[in-house]
Structure 1
Amino acid sequence: MAPPTGPRKGSAPSGARNPRNSATNGGKATTRSGVAKRRGAGAVRTDRDGDLDMDGPTGTNGSSRGGRRGNNHSAQSGQASRPPPRSAATSSRGPRPTAKAQQIIQRALNGGPGGMSSRITSARDRRAPATMTLVVEGLMSSKAASNEGGGLKELLTFLERKAQTVGQTARHIRIKKSHIKGDFVYITSTKEDAEEILKVNGFAFAGTTLRISQSADTTPVGGSDALSSTLSSNALEIKQHLRGVLSMRYDVNAKLLNLSALGEDPALAQRGFFNGESTPEKLFRTLMAICEQLFKTPQAKRDAVVSISLSGNNVDDVLQIMSLTDTFPDLVNLDLSQNQFKDIKGLQKWRHRLRNCQTLLLNDNPIEVMDPSYKEELTSWFPKLLNLSGVQVRTAEQVAAEEAATRPTPIPQSGADFRDINGVGENFITEFIQMYDAGRNSLAAKYYDDQSTFSIAVNSRSPHAPDLHPPTWGAYIKFSRNHTKITHTSARQQRLFTGTHLIQGVWQQLPPTRHPDLPTQLDKYIIDCHPVHGLADPTGQNPIGVDGIIITIHGEFEDQEPDTMKTAKRSFSRTFVLGPGVPGRNPIRVISDLLSLKVYNLLPASVSAPASQPSEEVQKQQMIIELCKQTSMNAEYSRLCLDVANWNFDQALVTFNEKRAQLPAEAFATAP
């Protein structure tokens, strides 16, 4: 640390007292004010406001080192030594303010509207850009809701990115604050950014459609309690006022919401909704947000509001009233007359919306003169539109015919098709169902080997009876390989279990089951069995593959939910691919086993009832006729071929192709 410096030339150090000056004062040192400070054994020195003076001399003779240097220098220069006035510049610490001065400073910092604190806050508020709070609906029903943090981070990133893209703005869109409240996400950003985020309304996010509107409650997220309560009360008052406006404009008998000429409404004008920064677009979004709160469900909206009039609102683009289609997507009648639509582009955003609209009025709009062909275009946009600007463009019969043409034709159901090979399929199914309920480890050891695969897929949203409460899926969902849910290749591979030991391990973790008895309750099953060719030969001797069968069984079973310990009934479908076993083991092995589970539902009555089977001789005659058609052999040789193949039609075709070159010409001649 640098040594202390001495006083200026010709002056004593601040606070020093010359012994000669002390003598002239009667041998007693004096100060400018306060209690005298002892020197050596004398009085204690204080500063102006009574504190101890830390800058006074510290020597026993009453002078400091600097003072001595000052006296010597003064003696050399021949000038009289006189102590200069104390100043902040010549002391290591400036004088402290008095108590009164501290009170004045404190009031200036904190007190009153004119204080420094309020002035700083006001200046900061003037510099800060105006903010807007938006409410976003759809996160809870999206796939992202199961992510860590509820998917909020993914949603905010999506909104910022899409808003910048849709708005084609060079600046970065930024959401300042956000929080989840119930089924809604409240976000706060600058007004400029919020206007761009509103354009993302209706976009698809993680399997759901987002609905974005301006929040009726203008309380900023994270505001102070006093400010929040003030803004909440103001927002509540505005909300109640707008509810009153809606009630006056709603005709309950006609189910009509009349929102025409909002700018001429005296109740809205008196409240100042069209003054300052408020715009008709913001007012309309707020009205739609209130309607969302009034009608909680889509059915409530359909029952309450059938028609809406927006005539005379100076609208030139449906983007300004986009929230209408979000709040009332099933609207039947809409009046847009006496607005400013000039061309079809002003209506482009509604091309895939309002699919149930039957009446659309665009009278007294510039589009009638500037784009007379707009009617054909709009008719193709709205499939149920009957009346466009007072002109009938379709009939109800035409709408019904067009709807019927778009519905897919159902696949005809002809009942179960069971084509077994030497009873292999029947024996396997009968034994499998019994052993799966009673001894799964033994079942896996008998029919599965190191190359066998097993997978399970859960469909928790399958159709079912309305009065049926769906069971829980916790015991199955962790193994589910449903490809609509599991989309990553690594996850799909991990949930495909290969080999006897892995399959046994999975089966042990699945709840115990009880299937209906197959021989006595065959009506509770639908079973298909078909031959299949080209399966891999486990011995490696046949390069073109070996024959097997594929079995699909639909049915039901009961199990016990691990969480609730209640008995649950589920529907299932199970598909097996069976082939020859490895030498030295069971002659039949399971190559592939796919189990699909869904909510219990009755089997179709038309296919579940056992159909009357034709007699054995009739079946043989049908097979002879079919073989004649496919091989051109006569009936005699066709019967002989089927008899050699033990009346297995597919095997008879294989035998014919192998022996065709050896057959005599008479095999293809018509029998007399």
Structure 2
Amino acid sequence: MASRTQTPRNAPRAPAAARRGRGGRGGGGGLRSDRDGDLTMDIAVKGRGRIGKPTPPPSASRDLTSRISRGGARGGSILSGRARGAILRQAAASDISMKEARAPARQGGLTELKVTGWEKSKASSDADGGVSSLIKWMEKKASHKLGSRAKQVKIKKSHVEGSELVISVPAEDVGALVRISGYVWAGATVKIERVGAGTEEPGISTADLKATLKGVLERRYNADTKLLDLSALGQDADLQKQSIFEKKSTTQKFFPALMKVLEGAFDTPAEKDAAISSVSLANNELVDLTHVTTLSLTLPKLHNLDLSNNSLRKLSSLDNWRRRFFQLEHLVLSGNPIEQNDPEYPAEIMKWYPKLRLLNNIQVRTEEEVNSKATVTDLPFPVRTPLFQDQDGIAENFVRTFFAGFDSDRPALSGHYYDDQSDFSYAVNTQAPRDPAATGHTEKQEWDQYIKNSRNLKKIDHLPARTSRLFRGTQAISDSFASLPRTRHPDLATEARKWMIEAHIQPGVPDPSGNSPMGVDGFMIVVHGEYDELDSSGTQVTKKRSFDRTFIIGPGTGPSGVRVVNDMLTVRAYGGAQAFEPESVGEDAQQQNVAPADAVPQLPAGLTVEVAEQMVAELQKQTGMNVQFSKDCLEAAGWDFAKGMETFASVKGNLGPEAFA
């Protein structure tokens, strides 16, 4: 893949902190307040544990949220509510499709809006009745600040008709202005609506909904601390006005839609990662990560994450983010039942996040320990493989992200890596040899969910049938993914021997920008492995399968900067992982006149024999030395891979041919 310049990030090393607006609780009759002092944001609410009365915060105040959001509204839920309100129909994989509002009046390419309520303001005594001040205020409040380019809203024309102020604005600014309807200006509640809207409540247009979501993000983003504060979303006044959380269908699709709007605010993933290093999801009554899992796809390089004061009861509630967020340095889980239910969870969390320094504001690793850990974990994969070519970690990050996303959120995955020119197909190989050691009984019709769209070209020679089984475009691929059974792949870190992964530089990959007619460098990634096939609930294993999957990836214009050009999957009966296993360490050592790995003396604490073997293999690959000299070089460097490379560089001129394979 063509080399890219990465935008440097000065991510904070300390826990995230940010200012939040302060406001009275339970009063104001729907009025809202901002930091300029001219709005009142609190609303009167009812109910407990829903979109209603805030849940009192726990007494613990040492977590990250206590500094991020002290004084703000707490409680609320993004996972429950009563049915009534607007419906989000699409989120992660495509634009949000909503019922279109009544067509507004247009004049000279501009859209007319009417503003009422302003005439009762404290500025009514001004010479123009406060119109000029009101216009400046509306432009300021409706302008966008989050993203690669700031968007300044401008009101092009205005005139007064009785008690109404009629303004004309470009169509793309309508949603931003309608979003601030209900705000208080100079003591008066200002209402903004389309001309000709009548008394009927209009449907929510796509532009309005996107403007609402972007407004939520902008109000909750602090550029100084690089914090995106998504805590207590159930109490957000703008979201309550749209009744987002009052129906299960809208609740489920809200967060993917929010992440899609966030991605669209930035030109490149590098800009997005540089702008946001901390996220708070505190006080949202999360029982698991099902509805917020897309955060790990949108912001994979977070440094600080706050999940405090939710309802996470056990470690499995966090499985969707296991081995994600590889740059995570501070995690807050205080105020969750997991603290009482599983006192040993911190040890497992540390395995998930190799760079974690702070857990619940308590130091769990020193800087030296993190650097030492990075020496080992920065190797591509702890998997024996003939060749793994990579550049800037692109191939490695793709593999780590793809299979985790395929297991947890396929619609978001298809929108993340595939575009309208991407191809996907799969084939069933029912004649592949089975695991000779297998004793389980093979059920009849075990390929029911696969065979209909299987594109086995050895069996299908009719052109229309072959063509119909090739899926092209984001939506077609997403639909095809949805037709396949739910899966759970082995963990890449803890079950590495169940995988075989190769990556090769692939020239001539189509350039979506059109700047390189002859194509650019990408990667061909070949993966062999296995997975558990799950039932519809995603909890019970029904079968075990083996698979082979080949990807061609190249540069993309989507949120990840990477796109899948072609994806071919072959599914077969489980055949075991014997082919991936290296020969006996003892036999291999005898052939190379090397002591077995089990006899490696004085391995540093925390360095396993398996990882030591991988370090030897990686040094062999990068230097060309044989096993014996690679092992000796690492021993002399204290099993520090970087120092081992330096040692090789300093002595390679004196090494004879016997040192090389």
TM-score by length of 1: 0.29
What TM-score, normalized to structure 2? Answer: 0.30
Q: Relative contact order (alpha carbons < 8 A, sep ≥ 6): 1 or 2 greater?
A: 2
Bigger Rg, structure 1 or 2: 1
